[in-house]
Amino acid sequence: MRSGPSPVPSGPVHELREYETGVFAGVRLTEADRRLLGDGGLSSRLRVRELADGKLEVTATQYVGSLRLDGCEIRVRPKYLGTELDVLRMLDLAWGAARDPLPTAQEFRDGPPNLRDLVCRMVVEHGERLLRHGVRRDYLSVEDDLRVVRGRLLPDRQLLRHHGRLDRLACRFDEHEADIADNRLCAAALALAARTARDPGVRAGARRAAAEFAAHAPTPPGDVRTLVSGLEYHRHNEHYRPAHRWARLLLCGGGLDGLFTAGPLAARAFLVDMNSLFESFVTRLVEWGAAGSGLLVSAQAGQRRVLLDEGAGRSHGEVRPDLLVSGRRDGEVFRLPVDVKYKLYDTKKLSPADLYQAFLYARTLGRSPGGKPPVCVLLHPGDRAAGRVRVAVRELDGPVAGRVRAVPVDLRAVLGELAGPGPSRTAARLFTELLG
C-alpha cells in the first residue's frame, strides 16, 4: 500500500472540460502509461489515443479530476461548475452537509488547486484533527508465545508447537492497541497524499501527519474496499467518519462506486463521476427540502410489480426512479417520480430515451391529486432563469396521459446559497419547484 510508485508529479499540465476532446503535442506514452490506460476500466472514464508526430488525443467523459502520465498530467475540469472547489463542496454536502471548513484558492501557493490536491488537503486536515484529540485505541485479540500465562492458554497450539515445554506457553490475550482499522485507513491515505500531492504545502503537511499515524498504525490496511465494508460506526469512532470518507475517496482514485482499488491506478488516476455526484447531491437537497412537508422521499425505490412477463407469470424486471416523493396532498394519495439527469436540458430538447423513461415512471408510478394526469420530473443542471420545459404525452386522438417536467438546478447559485446562513431555504425552494 505505502510502497506504490507515483512520485511527486512533474511536467506540463494539459486541461480540458467534461465531454471535450483535446489534442496535445509533445506527449509520448511510455509502456507504463499504456499499461495504466489499459487497467481497471480507465478507458471508459478517459479515452486516450496516440496520434502521429508525438501528439495525444484525449476525450473526456463525465469524469472530472486528473490522470498522471510519465510525461505530463491531464486534468479534466467540470463543465457546469466554476472550479474544482465547487466539486469539493458538492462532495461535502452530498455526504450530509458536514459543513467542514473547506480550503480556498488563495491558500494554494502554486496556482489554482486541482481536485486531487483538494482531497489530499481534506485528508491532512482531518488527520491532524484526530491527532490533536488523540487517536482511538481498541482491544485486539493477540496470540503469542509467552514465558508466563496471559489471558487464555491455548492447549491445541501448545501441544503442537511446544509439547513438553513450560518455558514457552501459547496464549491468547487482549491488547489495547492503536493499530486498528480506523487508524490504518487514515495512515494509508496520508502516506499516499505525502507521496503524490502536487502542492508543496499539502505534501509537507501530509508527511508530518503520515509519520505520526504510521507510529500508531504501522500495519498496511490491505484492500481498501474490504476494510471500508467492515467498518462499523458507534459512539467511540463516529468522529472518524468524515476522515474516512476523504481517505476512501483518495485511496480509491475518486471512484465513488468503488471500482478503483488502491495501488498505482489510484495513485495516478483521480476521477470523480459527476453523474453519480450530481445524483447524490440533488437527492440530499430534495430530502432536506421535504423536511416538515409530510411527504416521504425514497431514493432508488425499485418496483417489481410494474413490468410483468405474462407468459411466465412473474416480474420482467424492476422500475427504479432515482427518487419517489409520496404521501398525501389535499387529502389524496400523491406520488411523484423524479429522474436525475446530468445533462444541460435548458439549452436542448429532452432526448427521446429520457422522455420515454420518464413517461413510463409517470404512467406507472405517478399519482396526481384531483384526477390530473400523472407527472414525472427530470432534475438537471441548468440556469434557474431559463424557462421550464413541459412535455405532455397524449393518447392518439385522446386526452393527456401524462406529463414530463424538466426542472433545472443552478449548481453555482445553489452552492453559493448553501454556503450562507440559510441552506434549508434553498432546499425548500427547490422542493417547491419540484412539486410544481
Q: pLDDT tens-digit profile of 394-426? A: 888 888 989 999 999 988 888 888 776 555 688
In this structure, are residues 199 and 117 in contact, taking their beta carbons and an 8 Å threshold? yes
Model pLDDT, residue 94:
86
Q: What SS3 class is residue 334?
A: strand
User: Average pLDDT in the 145-149 region?
Assistant: 88
Which of the four pLDDT bands, split at 50, 70 and 90, describes residue 263? low
Q: Which of 208-217, 272-281, 303-312, 323-332 has the lowest mean pLDDT?
A: 303-312
Instruction: Summarize the confidence of residues 338-353 as an average pLDDT.
Output: 88
Tell whether the torsion through CA atoms of 249, 250, 252 and 253 is positive or negative: positive
Please check whether residue 138 is in contact with residue 117, taking contact to mean a CB–CB distance below 8 angstroms: no
The pLDDT tens digits of the residues spanning 25-65 come to 988 888 888 887 876 567 778 888 889 888 899 999 999 99
Report pLDDT for 162.
87
Average pLDDT of the residues in 82-98: 82
Q: Is the pLDDT of residue 389 over 70?
A: yes
Tell me which residue of 123, 113, 136 sits closest to 206, measured CA to CA.
123
pLDDT at residue 3, as a whole number = 41
Which DSSP string do the residues of 3-53 spell out, in sequence order?
T----S--S-EEEEETT-EEEEES----HHHHHHHTSTTGGGTEEEEE-ST
- 368-377: average pLDDT: 92
Domain edges within the chain: 13-135+179-275, 291-435
How far apart, in whole angstroms, are the C-alpha atoms of residue 378 and residue 392?
A: 13
Mean pLDDT of 324-349: 90
Residue 377 clears pLDDT 80, i.e. is over it? yes
| pLDDT (tens digit per residue) in 108-133 | 666 667 899 999 999 999 999 999 99
The answer on pLDDT for 99 being more than 50 is: yes
Residue 79: what pLDDT?
A: 85
Portion of the chain with pLDDT greater than 70, in percent: 90
Q: Which pTM value belongs to this model? A: 0.83
Residue 77 has pLDDT above 60, yes or no: yes
Closest CA relative to residue 269, chosen from 64, 13, 108, 20: 64
Which of these, 381, 308, 296, lies nearest to 345 by C-alpha position? 381
**pLDDT (mean) for 234-259:** 83
What's the whole-number average pLDDT of the chain?
85
What distance lies between CA 214 and its chain's CA centroid? 26
Reported as a pLDDT band with limits 50, 70 and 90, residue 16 is: very high
Using pLDDT thresholds of 50, 70 and 90, give the confidence band for residue 4: very low
pLDDT at 184: 93
Q: Is pLDDT at 186 greater than 90 in this prediction?
A: yes
